[in-house]
Structure 1
Amino acid sequence: MFRNQYDHDVSVWSPQGRIHQIEYAMEAVKQGSAAVALKNKDFSVIVALKRAPSELSSYQEKLIPIDSHIGMAITGLTADGFLLAKSMRRECADNRWAYGEPLPISRLLNKISLKMQIPTQQYGRRPFGVGMLIAGYDDQGPHVYYLCPSSNSYDCRSFAVGSRSQSARTYLERHLDQFPNSSLDELIAHGLKALKGCLPAETELTGKNCALAVVGKGRDFTILKEEDIEPYLAGLATSVPSEVSDHSAEPQPVAPAYVTSTQLYNWRFTTDELANQRQECNAAARKRLAPVTKANADASQGGVSNAEAEPLLLTAEDELIIVKRYILIMKELFHKFEEPKLPPDVFGFAATYFKRFYLNNSVMDYFPREMMLTALYLACKAADFPLGLQTFTSHIPRNRERYSDFIVNSELFLMEKLQYDLWIHTPYRPLCGLIVDLVAYQNALRERRGQKPVEDAASLVATLKAEGYEIIHTWFQTDLCLTHPPSQFALAVLLELGRTRPELEVEAFVRDEVCGCAPLKSDEPCGDSSRGEENQPSVQSGEPTPQQQWSNLSEKMEHIQAMIAEFEFLEDLSQTGEEEAVLLQCRNPLYDPLSEEYAAAKERANKLMSFIE
């Protein structure tokens, strides 16, 4: 909890062997606007997003030409990027003056890496907080390099860096084998499609917020103008090879980004696994805190010890109730953010962080109020909606200074406990897509029946989204975010909305359109034997039929519905249970900022740090 004692200088190593100043610089790169670089046999292409601090200001330039054969995109601290670009230009100019030829790209990377390493070796300096995607062409062919704040350089076939870049990297990995044989136009289209995945759902990729540069065989490093980029954006859907379009059009049961995510591989559990993990965590905490709690109880009774008395500690079920209560408190705090209004993904990120943290940690060790605030603050950053600490704490009713200090001291601690798996696939976006498809399905169905279309479809979509998002907020008290994919979470919410609006025929929509039993584009019902053999799913391929998909999905939805029906949701914050009173008595004093034990531990840490200073 004293990690801030080891991050005041770049030459200080933490007890875990880490240099936090460099990690801060790398975090600045992750928060920067996204950039993508890729190459084929003859060309290298860089595409980058440009940000504007406000609507009245111009976009910041992200692409920097270095020499005729090399250029780069920067993400992170732009001032550091321009400073390093100046040094790179000087190195290239010196080489041309001395040898009369362009500086090889690998040698330039070696020189600039040494320059970036110098601040990491001297007291009183900070590392460069910028990541650079470098594209160039020399005698060895086209190159793509990534240079990170730790001064390490990586030779890549393609790479993406910056905010929301995970989706771009997923796209690049899926199509990596197609890049070498792509034409220049196809390569640019691939780069733009990868970059498009880094944008929020409501933002479009345009010539104003996008920068594009090309370098390669017989072509100097050139940054394209806005009017030159527009044709590529206009033909984005048809500019990639046909086999790529066919592959991307195949129905996927789960979003590809989720299939390759840490959320699936590291944070997906069964109900039994969750129960066992919570029991083990609670048992370890009870064993650790029993002597401390008993000593405090004896001291409160005037030093009279009662050997038969059991120490007052929380059970695993009590801890789960407290976690549910603070999810509800987080929801109330989330709704207090009016200026600015937080996007729904922020709550999904924060609630998931909170539940993940208390899978392996006890509320008796780390008080949930402070961790709830830290999770919400971290979620704002991870969901690409960063808020200043002062702006964030201004929405806290009281003790703002104390909570501000705690958030600063515990943010990296929370990230470490989450294994730095910060990107969350939430059910909000899938639900939005399902609602739009549902309304379109209703209009098509009414048209087929000769009825009028849905009145004020936009208003209906907005109403369903608002109600659905509120249901999702409430259902985060359950373990759905840990046991089911976000798509199934969203589908269960849609079916819940359909129970209050039977006229929308949600179940028929899911069966016929989502599962494909009787889509409107086909007049044949699911079980019609007149369908040709060519339209029947291949038994040998192992692909389930639409009816099998509907049957499997129905079982999962019924399981979720039963779990929701049995779950005891908390709705009233005015009443506090016995668990809260017990928590105040058995809280670990070592992690309580107001306790004497915490003050003593902090004083010992300060004394140890005095030797370093």
Structure 2
Amino acid sequence: MAVQLDRDGPSTPKRQPVQLYHLSSQYRHWRFSKEQLAKIRQDLIEQAVERVRTLWEEERAQQAQAGANGVPAPTDASASEPPSQPATPPAPSDIEYLSVADEQLLVAYYLQQAVGLCGAFKFPEAVSATALSYLKRFYLRNTAMDYHPKDIMLTCVFLATKTENYPISIDTFAAKVKVAPADILALEFLVSQSLHFEYKVHHAYLALSGLVLDMQTTSVPSPSLASALPRAQAFLRAARLSPAELVYAPSQIALACMRLADREAVETWLEEKLRAGAAVPREGRDGGGEGRKEEGGEGGAPGREEGEPAQLAQEELLRLLDEVQAMIQEQQRSTVDKNKVREVDRRLKWARNPEKDPKSALYKKRKAEEEAAREEKERAKAAKRPPNDDASVFD
């Protein structure tokens, strides 16, 4: 007996197809408005300052107790330390904690370092792009006062080689970056947790490739495309160093880069697509993510009401592309001041969380507490174990 697969009657409304990107974790969890990004970063910094200030007070108490017991207090001074840096930590209220701008400066510097590192290893574009995405996402869940961007950057690059199926042994990688393999691997689970184990990244460079292929089916001259593509790719590399991917869709970023490279070609393509009634990337101006929903759209992508003129959708898209282009051009104009980076890094010496510093008294205290708890748990298990229990060898 034949099975009828389609039972929809004429009264059943047709469901609009959903793009795969809209079902991705990137769209649902890693897309924000500019205002949301600013608030997330400001909240993280404020919470970190309060936490680190409290922990430094505890650290000073631990050092004072150790001094009273005749144990020398741990210091981190070195002969190469600049005169502006005190050899002992200042009072917690006197520490210059990092601001959002300070942290973003550090992260921007190590984004550039990650690009250079991937180039030195001759990693493919997918590895470099994914590593940068991981680093940006990590600092939407953590701050530089807890985890230094240099350490996180190395782990992000190594993790990206695995998620993008370009494996390299940890020994080879660590030897070239002159870091102990254990130091890189120790942060791998932390980075994965911060990413919510959502490793897949939808990249704009793939969207750009698809866009160029589609433009070849229109009246856009092939020589124009061949000339514009390298320029668009250069704009795309600049976009990776900006927060564009946290606000806009990959297709929007790709189209903006091509529009910067050849505005006339994009306008010709858009006119032909709109004339034919084809879909163009016209998602919400501020993206989606974190449950954002706007009127007329689903999950943060506002749509066009039925019967609305196509010109309005085009105007909305062009305004959005202007925003993306402005962000990319601002990134191109901005340069990372290494002197400012060094200054922020010097301040981070005392503004960092002492719990994360193996040389601190607080770190040693926490480790001793963890070891004591582990030993107590082992003793409790041993007390419950029957005598001559052979199964204990498998515990």
How far did 1:429 drift?
A: 0.7
Counterpart of 1:269 in structure 2: which amino acid? F
Matched, 1:332 2:119: no
How far did 1:290 drift?
A: 1.8
Q: 2:247 aligns with which of 476, 483, 490?
A: 483
Q: Distance in 1 between matches of 2:35 and 2:206?
A: 29
Aligned to 1:497: 261
Q: 1:375 aligns with which of 147, 156, 173?
A: 156
Aligned to 1:561: 325
Aligned to 1:366: 147
Q: Distance in 1 between matches of 2:187 and 2:36?
A: 27
Aligned to 1:588: 353
1:306/1:358 CA distance change after superposition, 3 Å: closer
1:162-561 matched pairs, under 5 angstroms: 256-293=19-56, 310-338=94-122, 342-396=123-177, 398=178, 400-401=179-180, 404-441=181-218, 444=219, 454=223, 460=226, 464=229, 467-498=231-262, 505-516=264-275, 542=306, 544-561=308-325
1:603/1:565 CA distance change after superposition, 3 Å: same
Aligned to 1:34: none
More relative contact order in 1 or in 2 (CA 8 Å, sep 6+)? 2
Alpha-carbon displacement from aligned partner over 1:200-232 (angstroms, at most 9, x marks no partner): xxxxxxxxxxxxxxxxxxxxxxxxxxxxxxxxx
Alpha-carbon displacement from aligned partner over 1:512-552 (angstroms, at most 9, x marks no partner): 23444799xxxxxxxxxxxxxxxxxxxx9715544233211
How far did 1:387 drift?
A: 2.8
Gaps of 5+ in 2: 9-14, 65-74, 76-84, 279-303, 379-394
Q: Distance in 2 between matches of 1:445 and 1:302?
A: 65
Alpha-carbon displacement from aligned partner over 1:259-318 (angstroms, at most 9, x marks no partner): 11121122211111111111111001101112455777x9997999879x6321011121
% of aligned pairs identical?
Answer: 25
1:474/1:394 CA distance change after superposition, 3 Å: farther
1:593/1:516 CA distance change after superposition, 3 Å: farther
How far did 1:563 drift?
A: 3.0
CA contact (8 A) 1:324 1:477 kept: yes
1:513/1:603 CA distance change after superposition, 3 Å: farther
Which structure features the higher share of strand residues? 1
Which structure features the higher share of helix residues? 2
CA contact (8 A) 1:331 1:473 kept: no
1:545/1:356 CA distance change after superposition, 3 Å: same
Q: Distance in 1 between matches of 2:251 and 2:40?
A: 25
CA contact (8 A) 1:293 1:311 kept: no
Instruction: Report the 3-state secondary structure (helix = DSSP H, G, I; strand = E; otherwise coil) of the residue aligned with 1:366.
Output: coil
Counterpart of 1:438 in structure 2: which amino acid? M
Q: Distance in 2 between matches of 1:469 and 1:575?
A: 30
Q: Distance in 2 between matches of 1:330 and 1:303?
A: 32
Q: Distance in 1 between matches of 2:86 and 2:205?
A: 52
Q: Distance in 1 between matches of 2:327 and 2:88?
A: 48
CA contact (8 A) 2:220 2:268 kept: no
How far did 1:603 drift?
A: 4.5
Q: Distance in 2 between matches of 1:424 and 1:576?
A: 31
CA contact (8 A) 1:354 1:375 kept: yes
RMSD (Å), alpha carbons: 3.8
Instruction: Report the 3-state secondary structure (helix = DSSP H, G, I; strand = E; otherwise coil) of the residue aligned with 2:223.
Output: coil
Instruction: Report the 3-state secondary structure (helix = DSSP H, G, I; strand = E; otherwise coil) of the residue aligned with 1:416.
Output: helix
How far did 1:357 drift?
A: 1.5
Counterpart of 1:323 in structure 2: which amino acid? V
May I ask how many residue pairs the two structures share in their alignment? Answer: 323
CA contact (8 A) 1:345 1:383 kept: yes
1:276/1:605 CA distance change after superposition, 3 Å: same
The alignment's TM-score, normalised by the length of structure 1, stands at 0.46
Q: Distance in 1 between matches of 2:87 and 2:335?
A: 40
Counterpart of 1:290 in structure 2: which amino acid? R
Counterpart of 1:326 in structure 2: which amino acid? Y
The alignment's TM-score, normalised by the length of structure 2, stands at 0.69
Greater Rg by CA: 1
Q: Distance in 2 between matches of 1:304 and 1:358?
A: 26
Q: Distance in 2 between matches of 1:270 and 1:513?
A: 30
CA contact (8 A) 2:134 2:156 kept: yes
